[in-house]
Amino acid sequence: MPPRTPASATQQKLRRIVLTVGVAAISITGAYYGAGLKVQQDHKKERKRILELSYEERIAQMETSREKLVRRKDELEKKVAEVRARIQSRKEAEMESGQSKG
């Protein structure tokens, strides 16, 4: 066995780094791909479950979803109104401070 030279040590270190990065990349890609497959599988199961429901159950589920969406819409509209009120009060405060200086 020939003695190790600094060049061969550098090559081994480089090879080790390349292998480590390669294995990590393969692992990450596999995990990402597997997660995507799982999401697709879950989506298909949910869709199948919904299609197997009776019309009354579907309607009830849609009404529940609608109630949630309406509630969310009301919350967002309230937040928008609050933001607009704050903006208006800031404008009024700026106008008052501008008039008192002038």
pLDDT in tens, 39-68: 999 999 988 988 888 999 999 999 999 999
Q: Which pLDDT score is estimated for 81?
A: 98
Q: What is the pTM of this model?
A: 0.48
Q: Which pLDDT score is estimated for 29?
A: 96
Q: Which pLDDT score is estimated for 39?
A: 94
Cβ contact 53:61 at 8 Å: yes
pLDDT in tens, 86-96: 999 999 998 88
User: Which are the contacts of 50, defined by CB distance < 8 A and separation ≥ 6?
Assistant: 58, 61
Q: Which pLDDT score is estimated for 6?
A: 66
Burial of 16 (0-12, 13-18, 19+ CB in 10 A): exposed
pLDDT at 8 over 90: no
| Cβ atoms < 10 Å from Cβ of 70 | 10
Q: Structural domain boundaries of the chain?
A: 9-52, 55-101
Distance separating alpha carbons of residues 65 and 68, to the nearest angstrom? 5
Instruction: Please state, rounded to an integer, the average pLDDT across all residues of the chain.
Output: 90
Q: Which pLDDT score is estimated for 68?
A: 98
